[in-house]
Chains A and B, each alone.
Chain A
Amino acid sequence: MKKIPQQKELKDLLGPSKFSGDGYLGTDPRIPESIIEEDRHIIEQSGFTKEQLTESLKDALKKAVDALGDPVDILPGVTAVHYESRGKIPSPYRGDGLFQKGEVVIFDSKSGKKIIVTPLGINLIEKHNFFQGRGSRYRIEPEDIIVIFNLQK
């Protein structure tokens, strides 16, 4: 099926650029709209809201950044470490502004799950419902957030 121009544009925006060498789509064969729609469906099925998920990410990010590179315990068995990086990165969605570089690696020793959280990554979820494509270093599976942060209904 021929793609409509808007689809092409969004796919171009989220592809490799001067600021993200690998882009935001990873190796995911789906178009961005499908990634967004399927993740939205997964969250809906889980009984949680996107806001609950992003709050957990924001809280962990802040605790790790405040620890200045020291590993910090978020929950029993869940550790977060901030890796600093100087400079800022613009959002691939024009108009969202600049975000501090650096990443927080969160590891859950119980489930063995690991996610990488960035200020830009949180913005993409919060504002555009975009958890990034599978195969992207910064893709976060919505279910992983629920498991790692032991979210309860």
Chain B
Amino acid sequence: MEQLMVNILIATGFLAGMGLLLSALLVIAEKSILNFGPCTIDINNSEKILKVKGGGSLLSILARESIFIPSACGGRGSCAYCKVIVKNGGGPVSPVEEPYLSDEERKRNTRLSCQVKVRNDISIEIPREYFSVRKYRGKLISKRPLTHDIFELRIELLEPREITFTAGQYIQLKSKEYKGRESVIRAYSMSSVPSDKNHVELIIRRVPDGICTTWIFDYLEEGQNVGLSGPYGEFKLQPTDSPILFIAGGSGMAPIWSMLRDMREKGIKRKAHYFFGALTQKDLFFLDELRQLERELPDFKFIPSLSREPENSNWTGERGIITDVVKKYIPDTSGYEAYLCGSPGMIDACIKALTSTGMPVEKIYYDKFA
């Protein structure tokens, strides 16, 4: 019996020892065999050259170098936000990436940066705006309802204290864990004016069952710290003299509200119409502020339209869907530029309506992350 116990102990010890030995071998192998050594990341035809230690994903290595590519899934290859162009050195497209890449994107060598491993020198192209993206820590100083399902947040930046952006751009806000739900990252357009560098304002609509908006509406309180990164996006006013059509609905107000106030501050006097679509009067907000802008901007007109307002209400403004109202006011849009912000369905309908009244499609600008 005693001998049996000794044998069991010896066998257990032997197995444990072998396990430790194998683990040590794996660690050594990872360090020697998988050590890809120093690699070079050439960005935008040598506009920036990074000397990095190879082995990690392009997304994570760029983040270590303070270049933040948008991402919502934390590098799991499921959100497809982290697309970049890899000109060479990225290896073959992985099966994880395939469903997220269109034929057009494949031709342009677009890749998911979270799935590209940096194992040798690599050349990539990213929007120049990403160089100025920073991570921020801020404090929510105001949270106020604008309608029954839209809130405005005002965040004071603590570290770094200032953000430089162009009206129309967006940030990525990081939610905190609550009720067993994971921390997530979601994109929201900034509604603040670029001159207010110490604050970020957002206009956010509640998404039924949405992880991030439920956190914002039900858990986030004034005084709490928040994490965000930005600015992102190429949706911005073009430097031309063309008359402008702004078209938005719901929280799509955010980037337009930023652009309009930026125009006022900079003394931009371009002719502009702002068509805002809503269901009923309870879905409208910033009416007084926009009427004030009409008085301050010499050639600016705000036209809200309601599609489900009761016939017998006191509403004296436009009624009907926004695309019909745009056609009524501007039957020929050929000389205009359009800036759209809303649901993809609304954007598609607007593009159809605008091109049918003469607007070249390349003069229509809208949020790319929608």
Interface residues of A (CB under 8 A from B): 16-22, 65-66, 68-71, 82-88, 90, 94-98, 100-103, 137
CB-CB under 8 A for A21 and B181, given A87-B187, A94-B78, A97-B100: yes
Interface residues of B (CB under 8 A from A): 72-74, 76-80, 95-96, 98-100, 180-182, 184, 186-187, 205, 207-211, 214, 249-251, 277, 279, 307-308, 321-322, 342-346, 349, 367, 369-370
B78 neighbours in A (Cβ, 8 Å): 18-19, 90, 94
A102 neighbours in B (Cβ, 8 Å): 343, 345
| Min CB gap A27→B, angstroms | 14
Q: From A103, which residue of chain B is reached at the shortest CB distance?
A: B208
**Cβ contact within 8 Å between A68 and B99:** no
| Min CB gap A115→B, angstroms | 14
| Min CB gap A89→B, angstroms | 9
Docked CA distance A83–B279 (Å): 12
A103 neighbours in B (Cβ, 8 Å): 208
Docked CA distance A86–B78 (Å): 17
Docked CA distance A105–B51 (Å): 52
**Cβ contact within 8 Å between B307 and A70:** yes
Q: From A137, which residue of chain B is reached at the shortest CB distance?
A: B209
**Cβ contact within 8 Å between B209 and A71:** no
Most buried by B among A71, A84, A88: A84
Q: From A102, which residue of chain B is reached at the shortest CB distance?
A: B343
**Cβ contact within 8 Å between B279 and A70:** yes
**What's the dominant secondary structure at chain A's contact region?**
loop
Docked CA distance A88–B207 (Å): 13
**Cβ contact within 8 Å between A84 and B80:** no
**Cβ contact within 8 Å between A18 and B95:** no
**Cβ contact within 8 Å between B182 and A84:** no
| Min CB gap B186→A, angstroms | 7
Docked CA distance A137–B207 (Å): 13
CB-CB under 8 A for A96 and B99, given A21-B214, A85-B210: yes
| Min CB gap A85→B, angstroms | 5
**Cβ contact within 8 Å between B74 and A18:** yes
A21 neighbours in B (Cβ, 8 Å): 181-182, 209-211, 214
A137 neighbours in B (Cβ, 8 Å): 208-209
CB-CB under 8 A for A84 and B346, given A18-B74, A94-B96: yes
CB-CB under 8 A for A68 and B187, given A21-B211, A21-B214, A137-B209: no
**Cβ contact within 8 Å between B308 and A68:** no
| Min CB gap B290→A, angstroms | 20
**Cβ contact within 8 Å between A18 and B249:** no
**Cβ contact within 8 Å between A71 and B308:** yes
A sample of 20 inter-chain contacts (CB < 8 A) reads: A18-B78, A19-B79, A19-B184, A20-B211, A21-B210, A21-B211, A66-B345, A68-B249, A69-B307, A83-B208, A84-B249, A86-B367, A87-B369, A95-B95, A96-B99, A98-B79, A98-B80, A98-B100, A101-B207, A102-B345
